[in-house]
Structure 1
């Protein structure tokens, strides 16, 4: 096969989406308490009004607002106290002209009342009456029924990654179960005779396995389920067998190493043979990450991705393509970006988009300073020092000191 016919980022994404665009994850229903971190598979409407009744936002007295007009701290109005609202109970009392009912914060307003006077502006006159020293308008210190959510209102959108705040809102809206996307299963395969697993003795010339662990962690961060993570020695048949086996149980197979044009780099050929759609991208105009391989097998519905062996490049390509596709197909938002000002000039690679790792520090005018984290793509500590990254255009010459850039946060 022909190697390294370079695609731009958008060209490679379009090819990936065209090939695997129907690979929307299956869905399942789960209890709301088990849904934290999951991705909503459809819009969720409220099953009831929130709140389900008019409630007070303060401790005080429910009144008719008209009875307090003209009141000042020196000219009070005297109202008859006809009862007290207990938390969690219906008042069972109607307010009439000239009357008031004590109501605690969160308590239900009795019929006839349209405002609440804070207890700080009330003085007991005798056992059955109070003096009110505040003029309130209708609706003061009151939350109306359905003011937060009305029955049938969509309050959670498809693609929402559920957080504790959404978990707390669901039961208040009468929701006990939600449809969520089932996570893609993913296998991570690192290749190379030099790779040594964590905890094993290492000899001169060997390298600790980084990609198996960092890529697995990145996949889990994005909600994938790890089917297998393994390292295999260089060898066409051993790599082929590892990929073939992984395809039978995975939605995505990642292979790090063996993606360029070296003598032992046959990953693209193997993926091309194993997939009915073949490899459609081998080479992307990006630094780091140029020798990236992407293919798709429609029979097993498996995305195949050959990532560079350098750890930084492998993680960046995973973020920009595999995680991007997953977000796209599940309706998620793109990662948050923040504006920052470059602290120095940085050249970009000619004819390639360039991923520039950045450390952010608080600037004097409220805009972050973006400090480039320099280092080769094989040096993992550059990623640990960076808060995010920005990507230059393919034809850009670089970034200038003082230039404002959009930083995607890790």
Structure 2
């Protein structure tokens, strides 16, 4: 394979999104308590106000606020207590000037009342009257109907990752099931004659498999389902068979290694052969990550992605391309980032976007981004980093103290 017609990361994303649009997205209905961590597939719109009635924010006495004007410890206002509201019971009796009703926190405010005096500022005077020692303004200590959620309001947007607070909000609306995007099901194939399992001691020339573990964990971090991880020797026919088998059950097949131009690098030829659409990405204008391939098979509806074999490059390309496309198709918000001051000059790569790992440091009440240098084959480069910055392909580099956007990893 000749990596002559490389794509920018933006072009590669656009190509992938256009090919996968409406093809790899499925939805499923999950019980509310089983939906945490999934991505909401449609807006949640309230069919009713929350709360459904005016309720008290404190334990106290519901009053007409004007009745309390001028009250103080030396000159209290005396009101007749005409009712007491129990939690969960409706307040049906309307109060009139000179009257009050006891309400607990969360209790329904009776008709006619427009404020609540905290119980700490009241005292029973006799069996039917209460002394009020502090004035309250209109609406004081009252949670209005619909103050939390209005009827017809979009409460949770499509693309939201469901957290405990979203589950609570849906429960408040009487929703017991959520329609979510079904996570992509992924098979990860790590290739190389030199690879051995982590539990073994490598012989001279061998290394422990890293990529099937790091990419699996990375996929799971973003809510995707990893069906299987496979370590495959550099045998083109056996690799092809493993890819075809994975295509039958997977939405995405990741092949790590074999995507460059070495004698045993067969990933591009295999993707061209097994994918009905062949390869549509033949390299990225990205450092690290140039030897990246992608193809799509319409028959099995599978995305095939050939990633670099070096662990750092593989993880970065997986994040910048595959995970980015998943988030884009499911309407998830942009990745979390912050702005920081770069601590040293950095050179760019002519014609390539540079993905530079950085460590975040707080100095003098300011966040600084310190470049983390290391070869793309060294996984500890990633462990020392908090995030990455992107240097545009048209930019020569960055100057020390320049403000950069740091994306978390």
Once the 2 structures are TM-superposed, how far is the Cα of residue 9 of structure 1 from its aligned partner? 1.1
On the 8 A contact 1:46/1:175 being kept in 2, the answer is no
Q: Indicate the residue corresponding to 1:380 in structure 2.
A: 379
Scaled by the length of structure 2, the TM-score of the pair is 0.97
Deviation at residue 252 of structure 1 after TM alignment: 0.6
Shift of 1:92: 4.2
Matches within 5 A, 1:3-402: 3-365=3-365, 367-402=366-401
d(CA) in 2 for partners of 1:4 and 1:88? 71
Distance in 2, matches of 1:132 and 1:361, equals 55
Offset at residue 67 of structure 1 (A)? 0.7
- Native 8 Å contact 1:390 1:405 kept in 2: yes
**Alpha-carbon contact 1:24-1:330 (below 8 Å) kept:** no
Q: d(CA) in 1 for partners of 2:212 and 2:267?
A: 16
Cα RMSD between the aligned structures? 1.4
Task: Quote the Cα distance in structure 1 between the aligned partners of 2:29 and 2:340.
Answer: 41
Q: CA deviation at 1:394?
A: 0.5
What is residue 404 of structure 1 aligned with on the other side?
403
Q: 1-side partners of 2:33 and 2:151: how far apart? A: 22
Please say which of residues 389-398 and 115-124 is displaced more in the overlay.
115-124
Distance in 2, matches of 1:201 and 1:385, equals: 25
Gaps of 5+ in 1: none
Residue pair 2:26, 2:182 contacting (<8 A) in 1 also: yes
Q: Is contact 1:49–1:146 with CA below 8 Å preserved after alignment?
A: yes
Measured in 1, the distance between the counterparts of 2:291 and 2:57 equals 61
How far did residue 26 of structure 1 move?
A: 1.1
Q: Following the alignment from structure 2 to structure 1, what is the Cα–Cα distance between the partners of residues 322 and 234?
A: 24
User: Which deviations, in whole Å up to 9, do the C-alpha atoms of 1:189-239 show, x marking residues without a partner?
Assistant: 000000001212321110110000111111111121112210000011111
Distance in 2 between the 1:276 and 1:374 partners? 40
Q: C-alpha distance in 1, partners of 2:361/2:196?
A: 36
Query: Does the 8 Å CA contact 1:23/1:329 hold for their aligned counterparts?
Result: no
SS of the residue corresponding to residue 134 of structure 1 reads coil
Q: Would you say how many aligned residue pairs link Structure 1 and Structure 2?
A: 409
Asked whether the 8 Å contact 1:47–1:175 carries over to 2, the reply is no
Q: CA–CA distance in 1 between the matches of 2:62 and 2:359?
A: 55
**Does structure 2 conserve the Cα–Cα contact (< 8 Å) formed by 1:4 and 1:291?**
no
Pick closer, same or farther for the CA change 1:209–1:51 going to 2, 3 Å.
same
Q: Summarize the Cα distance change of 1:2–1:343 in structure 2 as closer, same or farther, 3 Å threshold.
A: closer
CA offset digits 1:320-378 (Å, max 9, x no partner): 1111111111111121111111112222222211111111122323x311111111111
Q: Retained in 1: the 8 A contact 2:24–2:251?
A: no
Do the aligned partners of 2:48 and 2:150 also contact (CA within 8 Å) in 1? yes
Structure 1 residue 22, shift from structure 2 partner: 2.7
- Aligned partners of 2:363 and 2:332: how far apart in 1? 31
8 Å CA contact retained: 1:46, 1:174? no
Secondary structure of 2:38 counterpart: coil
Shift of 1:406: 0.9
Tell me, in whole angstroms, the C-alpha distance in 2 between the residues paired with 1:136 and 1:110. Answer: 17
Residues of 1 paired with 2:220 and 2:4: CA distance? 30
CA shift, 1:73, in A, is 4.2
